[in-house]
Structure 1
Amino acid sequence: MSDSYYELVDADADGERFIATDLVRSTWSSEIQHGAPVSALLTRALERCEAREDTRLSRVLVDLLGPVPAEGDIVVRAQRERSGKQIELITAEMLGPGRDGQPRPVARASGWRLQKLDTADAVHAPSPLPRPVADAWSRDLKKDWDRNYVHSLDWRWLTEPLNKGPGESWIRPEVDLVKGENMTALERLFAVADCANGIGSKLDIRRWMFMNTDLVVHVYRVPDGEWIGIRAETNYGPDGIGATIGTLFDQTGAIGAIQQSVLVRPMPGR
């Protein structure tokens, strides 16, 4: 991989400073970042904070505090909030330039980090696998936008858009998270997990906006391989609020669960 979502500028006691590439740009607006690269960069910080080989992240919650600017320096910092032999709570924060040019919080994450133990005899993950990647097809989404997040993905669909049931896709990022670094399995997962809202959508993107404000992922098995499968469905209430609920897979089985809160609004001018 030669392209990336971010480039590391420097690091000090206050955190790591990055600049974003065009591949973070959202499909809603080129001025803001898509939630997936943001989530992956925060997950990177959670994993690296006082890392222990005998633990891993079990649940990651990402809150998007507002539009994350696609231009300007991004600072990410993390700390251990709760220490423990078996259970730790790690938090991370992303700062971006505000309207006055000064840094402001734009996203936060928290992660429960649990001590690992051999429980192979207790494995239970019955959700049926989506059909294989070989059965999926590309919708060639890259042709519909200028260079943005969509251009960083190999995205294969198993269901037609706006179908009545859950949507299903296989996705893999084709670029690095940070230039010159190899992505971890969880960084790769979070580089695409935010797409669940769009995969499960029942709304025409030409008529409606449906933006998630958060991302909650429970990982009961670390994914293996490059492809992440997503089966998701988004439901909508009568008052402009919806929710996405889904299951995440690698090519051998289910690995986790995902939920997102969704703000639903008519597309301006429609």
Structure 2
Amino acid sequence: MTTATPEGCYVLLGTEQEPGTTYDVLSPTRHVGSPWGPGVQHGGPPAGLLARAMDRLAPRSDTRLTKIGVDLLGAVPTADVRVGARVLRPGRRIELLGATLEARQDDGSWRPVAEARAWRQATQPTADVAHRVAPTEAFPDVTDTASAEHALPEVWDITGFVSAISWRVTRPFGGGPEGGTSMAWVRLEQPLVAGEETSPLEQVVMIADVTNGVGARLDPVRFSFLNTELTVHLHDVPRGPWFGVSAESTIGADGVGMGSSVLHEPDGPIGQVAQSLLVERR
């Protein structure tokens, strides 16, 4: 599924300066919409903005972000937002970065709606000792279109951010009759910010937030299972544009769940995702 015109998920309006932090101010487009309700942004685009802000903060070519943790402080409204990043713990080999996403209120003030932290680590050549833990199930190649025979679930609201992605579902959501993990190759079809090239890091963080949907075990007509956070560990460099998501959900006995996935490139896994889920009956 693709969208024809690259409008972007956000339009950059300008910048604002606060003591110690420069904020980018952005306006959301129709491509940020969430299936959980009108006027609410999907978690993927805000996560992408937070990753973008941290990755662009005093970057060095011999470092990269290896772990990104996003905490959603509540529903992110489809209002103007601003995002800014700062160094929390400087270092030559290891740095801790932080970022805040705020939404504009009716009175013009800003309210925090999401926060993130990321570890930036120094890199060095280790290809001679590289080792990737093999996933428990083989992931079909992205070029194997014959295996991408499963459609998105009919109950999904195929608008907003879901429609800003191309999907090749290789194992049906919920694992199908045989159980197991759900699998899909996904590619972002809209830039994060209009007129900008979306980096592979920004792409993979946005896509990582579909984990609880791809790995869904519950009927979304009868249940909601919103993620309250998103944690992405990247043990290899994302390249894109296609990323594989091999996902599963665990549902506890008291309304708490966890979504998890392995992120893939065509030549193997590159990272893992975990999300805490708030499970509620509708």
SS of the aligned residue for 2:118 comes to strand
C-alpha separation between the residues in 2 aligned to 1:43 and 1:121? 29
Report the residue type matching 1:231 in the other structure. Answer: S
Q: 1:218 aligns with which of 215, 233, 255?
A: 233
Q: Which runs of 5+ in 2 are unaligned?
A: none
C-alpha separation between the residues in 2 aligned to 1:184 and 1:84? 24
Confirm or deny that 1:16 pairs with 2:24: yes
Write out per-residue CA displacement over residues 22-55 of structure 1, whole angstroms, 9 at most, x where no aligned residue.
1101011121100011111110001001111111
- 1:35: which partner in 2? 43
Quote how far apart the aligned CAs of 1:168 are. 0.9
Confirm or deny that 1:169 pairs with 2:184: yes
- 1:139: which partner in 2? 151
Quote how far apart the aligned CAs of 1:150 are. 1.3
Q: Describe the shift of the 1:37–1:218 C-alpha distance in structure 2 as closer, same or farther (beyond 3 A).
A: same
Quote how far apart the aligned CAs of 1:145 are. 3.6
Q: 1:82 aligns with which of 78, 89, 97?
A: 89
Write out per-residue CA displacement over residues 86-112 of structure 1, whole angstroms, 9 at most, x where no aligned residue.
000010000003476531100011000
| Conservation of the 8 A alpha-carbon contact between 1:141 and 1:150 | no
Aligned residues between the structures: 266
Q: Describe the shift of the 1:99–1:9 C-alpha distance in structure 2 as closer, same or farther (beyond 3 A).
A: closer
Mapping for residues 66-215 of structure 1, pairs under 5 Å: 66-70=74-78, 72-98=79-105, 102-128=109-135, 129-133=138-142, 134=145, 135-137=147-149, 139=151, 145=157, 147-163=159-175, 164-215=179-230
Q: Which moved more, 1:56-65 or 1:91-100?
A: 91-100
C-alpha separation between the residues in 1 aligned to 2:88 and 2:154? 41
Write out per-residue CA displacement over residues 108-162 of structure 1, whole angstroms, 9 at most, x where no aligned residue.
1100000011111121113245102222136256996474111101011111222
SS of the aligned residue for 1:198 comes to helix
- 1:46: which partner in 2? 54
Quote how far apart the aligned CAs of 1:209 are. 0.4
Q: Describe the shift of the 1:67–1:257 C-alpha distance in structure 2 as closer, same or farther (beyond 3 A).
A: same
TM-score of the superposed pair, with normalisation by structure 1: 0.93
RMSD between aligned residues: 1.8
| Conservation of the 8 A alpha-carbon contact between 1:30 and 1:148 | no
Confirm or deny that 1:26 pairs with 2:34: yes
| Conservation of the 8 A alpha-carbon contact between 2:104 and 2:111 | yes
| Conservation of the 8 A alpha-carbon contact between 1:62 and 1:216 | yes
Q: Which moved more, 1:98-107 or 1:134-143?
A: 134-143
C-alpha separation between the residues in 2 aligned to 1:161 and 1:6? 29
C-alpha separation between the residues in 2 aligned to 1:146 and 1:173? 14
Report the residue type matching 1:12 in the other structure. Answer: E
SS of the aligned residue for 1:158 comes to strand
| Conservation of the 8 A alpha-carbon contact between 1:7 and 1:20 | yes
- 1:241: which partner in 2? 256
SS of the aligned residue for 1:176 comes to coil
